[in-house]
Amino acid sequence: MRIIYGINEARRTLFARRPVGSGDLPPAVRARIADVFGEALEPEAVVRRIVADVRARGDAAVTYYNAALDGLTSGAGALIVSKDEIAAAYGKVEDGLAETLRFAADRIRRYHEQQRAHAATTFMEGGIGQLVRPLERVGVYVPGTAVVYPSSVLMTALPARVAGVGEVIMASPAGPDGHVSPIKLVAADVAGVDVVVNAGGAQAVAALAYGTASVPAVDKICGPGGLFVTLAKRAVYGDVGIDSLYGPSETIVVADDSADPMLCAADMLAQAEHDELATPLLVTTSAALAEAVGWEVERQLALLPRAAVARAAFDARGGAAVVATLEEAMTLANEYAAEHLCLLLRDPQAALPLVRNAGGVFVGEISPESLGDYTAGPSHVMPTGGSARFASPLGVHDFLKVTSVVGVDAAGLRANGPAAARLARYEGFVAHARSIELRLEGGERP
């Protein structure tokens, strides 16, 4: 594991964000693109073509790209997963797993019920206020084929349900057998998903955004995905709402000389095993700890089934920075604005007020980030790529909207109207001014 010394060198190297983009496409993906579209295209161009085709041809285009890009042909399940298939999925998952999902769902639901109680509320004061209403229909995208993520089903659908969304549509790519994984279907049932769409990638996003004969159009699309899903969400934004644009997983462990190297390494590896593009970082005031964590990373890598993935993440984007003080460590963490920030410190509570930018903070050695991935309660769908500077984890607030209300009485009109009319006339909008002045004059005509 690389070790960098000094805050400025850390900024220049490990903590300098490097964009994830088209240059990261594997050769096999580029070959598939050329085969399907008849020419070499960059990802943005691929997404534009898919979105336009789905808007024009609906289900036929979604089915075509499921086959052409994802290889779903004979034996593939229907575009809309039937209730019978969802019910049968319970018999295809290992014993006890459905109950585990229910346990996690209860924790996630209770957290978001507390969040809903503290979210925006309807109010009226002096004739001015707001209405807060849930969205009518949302789409949640759940990635994963070779690796499936039933936890992401719960983490996206349950906040929507707690917010009061009328209908939740889930889209997820099929596995090698052409069907959405049974464990995802069980999770969807536990979370109260209304419709499951057997589609992934940009075609799924386009179907949710614009609707097809089978797929209802939604008001907002939420959830993480790979490069093509992210680009598709960006492409349809404006015609439909989106929550955020998500990238590969990233974790910063801030530690001092009291931290256990084994736990520091374990927390970094927990994110590194997600993806070769993940970012596992340590920032510490102790050079001895950095060395010990590097040794622990090597030792624990040998124990992991996904060691090759985790090692690639460490080689490309991982490492440790040794800085002079805890304040410097927190400065680096805030500048990077990571998805996950783990405080493995002698007094982690004292460092909490120093946190400015992070998707989620995990306070102390007995609060591992992995707990947050599954059963702590908050959604594990969190801002990446530095967007924690301005964005929040997925939550109830993503599924609510506010409508302003103006309902003043005559006294309110007299108190506010003259200034409003004057400003309108100054801006050259005489009709605006007259709509107020006529009321102030008691309806008299000029």
Catalytic positions are: 339-340
Task: Give the tokens for residue 121.
Answer: 């509320």
In angstroms, rounded to a whole number, what is the distance separating the alpha carbons of residues 380 and 279? Answer: 16
Residue 38, by phi and psi: left (phi above 0), alpha (psi -120 to 50) or beta? Answer: left
Which structure tokens are listed for 144? Answer: 């994963």
Q: What span, in angstroms and rounded, lies between the C-alpha atoms of 289 and 283?
A: 10
Q: Name the nearest CA neighbour of 378 among 357, 350, 397, 351.
A: 397
4: its two tokens: 């960098």
**Both tokens assigned to 161:** 């349900």
3-state secondary structure string across the chain: CCEEECHHHHHHCCCCCCCCCHHHCCHHHHHHHHHHHCCCCCHHHHHHHHHHHHHHHCHHHHHHHHHHHHCCCCCCCCCECCHHHHHHHHHHCCCCHHHHHHHHHHHHHHHHHHHHHCCCCCEEECCEEEEEEECCEEEEECCCCCCCCHHHHHHHHHHHHHHCCCEEEEEECCCCCCCCCHHHHHHHHHHCCCEEEECCHHHHHHHHHHCCCCCCCCCEEECCCCHHHHHHHHHHECCEEECCCCCCCEEEEEECCCCCHHHHHHHHHHHHCCCCCCEEEEEECCHHHHHHHHHHHHHHHCCCCCHHHHHHHHHHHCEEEECCCHHHHHHHHHHHCCCEEEEECCCHHHHHHHCCCCCEEEECCCCCHHHHHHCCCCCCCCCCCCHHHCCCCCCHHHHEEEEEEECCCHHHHHHHHHHHHHHHHHCCCHHHHHHHHHHHCCCCCC
